[in-house]
């Protein structure tokens, strides 16, 4: 079993995807032992507690800098002997965390990297304005700066003529991001991921594996 913690903010929709996968026994090698949030009133905290997962707050207002806050998060993770960190809609800079958990932080990005990789606004609005016909999402290992690093897996989502930014965001999230996050976590916990340079290689599925399929 892989001891993991999720970093989550806001409504915790991505966290719920992981919690659902655990509930339906789709992540048999994952032991989610904690959810950490910068917001005491984040709905993600309620989702965690409803699922029986301990939830902790590391309030950024109690720290003088972003770096000191990230150090507190990293120390909390180390104190709990965490191996894998899951970014489940976390809206704070990771700071020093990636340096202490190299190749052990998994997150998703709502586009097919490298498309719109450095876009800081509404990615889905940018997709529509550019006239893109196919978008999607990417699951990745965070790099040393906490940004998108080595790509684990991707899933395409068609852009429909009637889409607006809201409908496209919802479909990318439901059809790609949520599935990819659970898939990438499952691959890691099953010991099927290896990194060679900037490439992530996925080993063949072991007999009897219950890894979820798209």
Give the residue from 90, 19, 92, 4 showing the smallest Cα distance to 50: 19
For residues 141-161, give the mean pLDDT.
96
For residues 98-113, give the mean pLDDT.
96
Distance of CA 86 to the CA centre of its chain: 5
Q: What six digits make up the tokens of 34?
A: 């904690």
Task: With beta carbons less than 8 A apart as the criterion, state whether 34 and 56 touch.
Answer: yes
Phi/psi of residue 130, each to 5°?
A: -80, -15
pLDDT digits (tens, 9 = 90+) for 2-61: 999 999 999 999 999 999 999 999 999 999 999 999 999 999 999 999 999 999 999 999
| H-run or E-run covering 110 | none
* DSSP summary character for residue 208: T
What residue segments make up the domains of the chain, in order of their start?
2-202
pLDDT band at 207 (very low <50, low <70, confident <90, very high): low
Instruction: Give long-range contacts, CB 8 A cutoff, 24+ apart: 155-163.
Output: 155/179, 155/180, 155/214, 156/112, 158/133, 158/134, 159/127, 159/128, 159/132, 159/133, 159/134, 159/135, 163/128
Tell me the residue length of the chain.
Answer: 214
Q: What is the pLDDT of residue 206?
A: 63
Give the residue from 153, 156, 150, 105 showing the smallest Cα distance to 132: 156
Residue 2: C-alpha distances to residues 32, 62, 104, 122, 187 (Å):
8, 31, 11, 34, 11
Q: What is the pLDDT of residue 54?
A: 97
Q: Is the pLDDT of residue 213 over 50?
A: no
Percent of the chain with pLDDT over 90: 93
For the question of whether the overall pTM of this predicted structure is more than 0.95, the answer is no
Tokens 């655990």 correspond to 22
pLDDT band at 208 (very low <50, low <70, confident <90, very high): low
pLDDT digits (tens, 9 = 90+) for 164-188: 999 999 999 999 999 999 999 999 9
pLDDT digits (tens, 9 = 90+) for 48-96: 999 999 999 999 999 999 999 999 999 999 999 999 999 999 999 999 9
Q: What is the pLDDT of residue 211?
A: 44
Q: What is the pLDDT of residue 214?
A: 36
Q: What is the pLDDT of residue 118?
A: 82
Please state at what angle helix 165-172 crosses helix 123-130, rounded to 10 degrees. 110
Q: What is the pLDDT of residue 136?
A: 98
Residues 6+ apart with CB under 8 A from 201: 193, 194, 195
CATH architecture of the domain with range 2-202: 3-Layer(aba) Sandwich (3.40)
Q: What six digits make up the tokens of 101?
A: 């958990």
pLDDT band at 205 (very low <50, low <70, confident <90, very high): confident
């Amino acid at each position: 079993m892989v001891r993991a913690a999720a970093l989550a903010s806001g409504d915790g929709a991505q966290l719920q995807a992981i919690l659902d996968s655990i509930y339906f026994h789709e992540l048999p090698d994952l032991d989610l032992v904690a959810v950490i949030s910068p917001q005491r009133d984040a709905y993600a905290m309620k989702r965690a507690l409803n699922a029986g997962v301990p939830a902790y707050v590391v309030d950024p207002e109690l720290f003088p800098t972003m770096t000191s806050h990230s150090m507190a998060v990293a120390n909390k993770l180390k104190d709990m002997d965490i191996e894998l960190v899951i970014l489940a809609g976390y809206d704070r800079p990771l700071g020093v965390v990636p340096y202490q958990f190299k190749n052990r932080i998994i997150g998703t990005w709502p586009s097919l990297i490298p498309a719109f990789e450095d876009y800081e606004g509404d990615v889905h609005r940018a997709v529509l304005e550019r006239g893109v016909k196919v978008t999607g999402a990417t699951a990745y290992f965070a790099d040393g700066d906490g940004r998108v690093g080595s790509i684990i897996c991707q899933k395409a989502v068609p852009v429909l003529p009637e889409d607006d930014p809201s409908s496209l965001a919802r479909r990318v999230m439901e059809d790609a991001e949520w599935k990819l996050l659970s898939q990438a976590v499952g691959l890691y916990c099953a010991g099927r991921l290896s990194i060679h340079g900037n490439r992530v290689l996925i080993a063949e599925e072991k007999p009897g594996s219950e890894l979820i399929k798209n």
